[in-house]
A and B are shown apart, each in its own frame.
Chain A
């Protein structure tokens, strides 16, 4: 490794080098460039574009969590939106009394507790049964919130924050302010994610996913590991939910339904299970697909020629969204099960080994 800056390929010679987060200097530089770009980005965008970006980053945090439960530990969770909701409602209840840097960790902690409770069946059963436990929690959560007077029976609860350390947050700079808060949180969560999962605990998760009996025989406690996976996944969801509550200035139950949970699973798969890059690409892809389809259906509604061809009673506009969403999931699983992350990996390895082709 004479000139580490011009490194092409893998020249690691010791365990110390092998366990570094970044394999090459180029990776450090590219992550740095990405961060600077993300920090500067909102300066060039309109308010509505920042809004979309904020949603993507919030969803990225939730998907990171799902990538612990589902991506690493292999426990399918169809309740990520409900855990997000637990975080959001905790924040909504605590916001009048506490500042936001306390309410969000509180929401995360409460969500983690719920995650562990829902994960209890993982002590005895696997796979589908666990997916169904999260499904049950998802349905029970939505139903209960809709009937609790303390939670406005599912109607919106306002979450107000007008200034932060003397900085006024008004209509104009609301999206930008929260963009930076969300970005900062996301970076923290990514760093925690990486360090957590490449350590002893991450290995335990992978071992338990691949064969939990073998992991048991090697002295790991599969039950505890799975409970932790559920709790951690829910913790990330709780953080995302708390941020969403502040950013939207309100909490409504429609944000935390089964459809959202399924959406998160789709994001995780389209992005690439168990990867940081995938957790960013997946939400971006699905959200922009949704925007695109909404535009398209607006266009169809406005187009006289098409309107006359469509028989009455047929609702093309509301058909487009589920159709495209489902097709994307099915096609990705059939043809690129490793997700967008795999494309990113191919591009990266092309540049790393350039001018060679392997």
Chain B
């Protein structure tokens, strides 16, 4: 039984990372109906920028993290301005393919830095000794992951309920035409959504970096794990992103703990998210909290 709780707790920690990544993803989709296949690259870039600042420029860790978060936010903003802005009104396939192309370009650019291959890790700034509580161990980076997600959720909650920008973003998500006609700048909202997505992506990347080290391939893979999380939670729901992310993380850990011994070669945690994705699409395609679209001819 304590095994089960151990899996559950580490699952929640991993799931928090997915939830963070999924937040940015949902934000972009909610405001501009763009599915971002380059989200994994944003995550990786955020993590590596933070590493470069800490390891090469020897910035204090908090300052480095903040700079990296802002830099990735800026990157998201630039991506929207340069590429996505021209594609407003184009068919969905063009938009999706542009983000896929962008993902490839960003991959190529990362190979041009020393981070393309090999493993890196942040200098340790958290206690190495894990916390032990009633037979369950939790490491400090895992706690950090959960804390970060909670912090961002609170920030987002405040941002969308209280700030003018947040309210206008909600308005655009709800009805673009109506928002435009009451004077909300839809363009500004799209760009802002990308910037905030960059911020959350970078945070997710840095949390992964502290939990399990930095490696381009595994950082980018998180961008793929985001899809099951957002589909399970509902593509356009922010609470859904969190619930979906954490559920996927927990399921992965439970699968690794209980199913791997039945499968030759193991690795069920790699495929479980996609099985969930397919099953959700078959039986409850709009996810747990997603809105079902009502269409008229």
Interface stretch of the complex, out of A161-169, A229-237, A326-334 = A326-334
Chain A 123-134 interface 0/1 with B at a Cβ cutoff of 8 Å (1 = within): 011011101110
Cβ of B128 within 8 Å of any chain A Cβ, yes or no, is no
- Contact yes or no, B93 A143, CB < 8 A: no
Q: How far is the CA of A315 from the CA of B98 in the complex (A)?
A: 25
B130 beta carbon closer than 8 Å to chain A: no
Partner of B278, one of A131, A133, A213, A265: A133
Q: Is the CB of A318 within 8 A of B111?
A: yes
Q: How far is the CA of A188 from the CA of B254 in the complex (A)?
A: 50
B114 in contact (CB, < 8 A): yes
A residues less than 8 Å from B267 (CB atoms) = 143, 147
CB atoms of A319 and B111 under 8 A apart: yes
Please, how many angstroms separate the alpha-carbon atoms of A317 and B271 in the complex?
31
- Report which of B87, B101, B285 forms a contact with A327, defined as CB distance below 8 A: B101
Determine whether B235 belongs to the interface, using a CB cutoff of 8 Å to chain A. yes
> Is B83 at the interface (CB under 8 A from chain A)?
yes
- Is the Cβ of A143 less than 8 Å from the Cβ of B101? no
Give CA–CA (A323, B29) in the complex, Å. 25
- In the assembled complex, 20 residue pairs joining A and B whose CB atoms fall closer than 8 Å, in A order, are A124-B285, A125-B285, A128-B92, A132-B227, A132-B231, A132-B277, A133-B277, A133-B278, A135-B274, A136-B274, A136-B278, A137-B278, A140-B278, A146-B265, A313-B116, A319-B116, A323-B109, A326-B105, A330-B98, A333-B98
Residues from 248 to 297 in B contacting A, C-beta threshold 8 Å? 263-265, 267, 270-271, 274-275, 277-278, 281-282, 285-286, 295-297
Which residues of B are in contact with A by a Cβ distance under 8 Å?
Answer: 29, 35, 83, 86-87, 90-94, 96-98, 100-114, 116-118, 224, 227-228, 231, 235, 263-265, 267, 270-271, 274-275, 277-278, 281-282, 285-286, 295-297
Contact B105 A323 (CB under 8 A): yes
Docked Cα-Cα span, A332 to B130, in Å, equals 51
A136-B278, A319-B111, A337-B94 known; A329-B100 Cβ under 8 A: yes
Partner of B101, one of A213, A321, A333: A333
Task: Answer yes or no: A243 CB below 8 A from chain B CBs.
Answer: no
Residue from A131, A143, A318, A324 in contact with B271 in the complex, judged by beta carbons closer than 8 Å: A143
Instruction: Determine the distance from Cα of A333 to Cα of B282 in the docked complex, in whole angstroms.
Output: 31
Q: A136-B275, A319-B108 are in contact. Are A326 and B103 (CB under 8 A)?
A: yes
B235 cross-chain contacts in A, Cβ below 8 A = 128-129
Chain A residues, Cβ within 8 Å of B277: 132-133, 135-136
Known: A316-B112, A325-B101, A325-B104. 8 other contacts (CB 8 A): A139-B224, A147-B263, A311-B114, A314-B113, A318-B117, A323-B109, A333-B87, A334-B87
- Which of A's residues lie within 8 Å of B, judged by CB? 70, 74, 76, 118, 120-121, 124-125, 127-129, 131-133, 135-137, 139-140, 143-144, 146-147, 149, 153, 211, 213-214, 217, 262, 265-266, 269, 273, 311-316, 318-330, 333-334, 337
**Nearest residue in B to A334 (C-beta to C-beta)?**
B86
Q: In angstroms, how far is the closest chain A Cβ from the Cβ of B124?
A: 23
Q: Which of A74, A129, A139, A140 contacts B231 (CB 8 A)?
A: A129
Pick the most buried of B104, B105, B112, B275: most chain A CB atoms within 10 A of its CB. Answer: B104
Decide if B270 touches A326 in the complex (CB within 8 Å): no
Please tell me if the beta carbons of B107 and A322 are within 8 angstroms of each other in the complex: yes
Would B93 and A70 count as touching, CB distance under 8 A? yes
- CB-defined contacts of A313 to chain B, threshold 8 Å: 114, 116, 118
A258: nearest chain-B partner, CB-CB:
B224
CB pair A214 B87 closer than 8 Å: no
Known A-B contacts A315-B111, A327-B105; the reply to A131 vs B35 at CB < 8 A is yes
In the bound assembly, the distance between CA atoms of A312 and B94 in angstroms comes to: 37
Given contacts A129-B285, A333-B97, contact A135 B227 (CB under 8 A): yes
Q: A125-B285, A128-B96, A330-B105 are in contact. Are A74 and B91 (CB under 8 A)?
A: yes
By Cβ-Cβ distance, the 9 closest A-B pairs, closest first, are A323-B108, A326-B104, A329-B101, A319-B111, A313-B114, A326-B105, A322-B108, A330-B101, A121-B281
CA of A132 to CA of B287, assembled, Å: 13
Closest Cβ–Cβ distance, residue A80 to chain B (whole Å): 13
- In chain B, what residue has the closest Cβ to A135? B227
A213 with B93: CB separation less than 8 A:
no
In the complex, are the beta carbons of A320 and B108 less than 8 A apart? yes
Contact B107 A326 (CB under 8 A): yes
Q: How far is the CB of A121 from chain B (nearest CB, A)?
A: 4
How distant is the Cα of A337 from the Cα of B231 in the complex, in angstroms?
29
Q: Are B104 and A329 in contact, CB atoms less than 8 angstroms apart? A: yes
Residue in chain A with minimal CB distance to B118:
A313
The interface centre, meaning the residue of A132, A314, A320, A327 with most chain B CB atoms within 10 A of its CB, is: A132
Find the A residue at minimum CB distance from B101. A329
In the bound complex, how far is the Cα of B111 from the Cα of A319, in angstroms? Answer: 5
Q: How far is the CA of A265 from the CA of B97 in the complex (A)?
A: 8
A334 interface neighbour in B83, B96, B108, B117, Cβ under 8 Å = B83
A318 contacts B116, C-beta separation under 8 Å:
yes
A132 to B226, CA, bound (A): 11
The complex places the Cα of A312 from the Cα of B114 at a distance, in Å, of 7
Which of A211, A311, A323: most chain B Cβ within 10 A? A323
Contact A322 B111 (CB under 8 A): yes
